[in-house]
Amino acid sequence: QIRCPHVFTWNLMIRALTIDGSSLQALLLYNLMICNGFRPDKFTFPFVIKACIASLAIEKGKEVHGLAVKAGFSRDMFVQSTLMDLYLKCGDVDGGRKMFDKMRVRSVVSWTTMISGLAASGDLDAA
């Protein structure tokens, strides 16, 4: 047990669980983090969204999206890219496209994510 956990510690554990394939435990840990009064930071949201993707928990992902907006991280490039990935991988191509269109700065990662998502959905012309 960690005596005085910090958001960094929570993020590290959430990320490790997701990488290990324990995405549901990662989401439970995120809920515990919130219940214990810790506020997510710009690193928390991509880790939690990746756990949502791995467990195909699009509703939880939408909830996390709303919290990211309220916390002021809706314009963070990493949060946006991960949200776009969530929507595309969970079959919501329109949601992924909206995230892509809202991005002020698009990286190679965001372009690749969008193209891969369109191709996976069968929209090869748009890809």
Mean pLDDT for the chain overall: 92
Residues in the chain: 127
pLDDT value at 14 more than 90? yes
Under a CB-based contact definition with an 8 Å cutoff, are residues 49 and 86 in contact? yes
Give the pLDDT score at 19: 95
- Give 48-71 pLDDT, tens digit per residue: 999 999 999 999 999 999 999 999
Q: At 3, is the pLDDT very low, low, confident or very high (cuts 50, 70, 90)?
A: low
pTM: 0.88
Q: Give the pLDDT of residue 101.
A: 95
- For the chain, list the domains and their CATH numbers: 7-120 (1.25.40.10)
pLDDT tens sequence across 62-107: 999 999 999 999 899 999 999 999 999 988 999 999 999 999 989 9
**Which residue type occupies 83?**
L
CA count, 13 A, side-chain hemisphere, 60: 18
Q: Is the dihedral of CA 118, 123, 62, 21 positive or negative?
A: negative
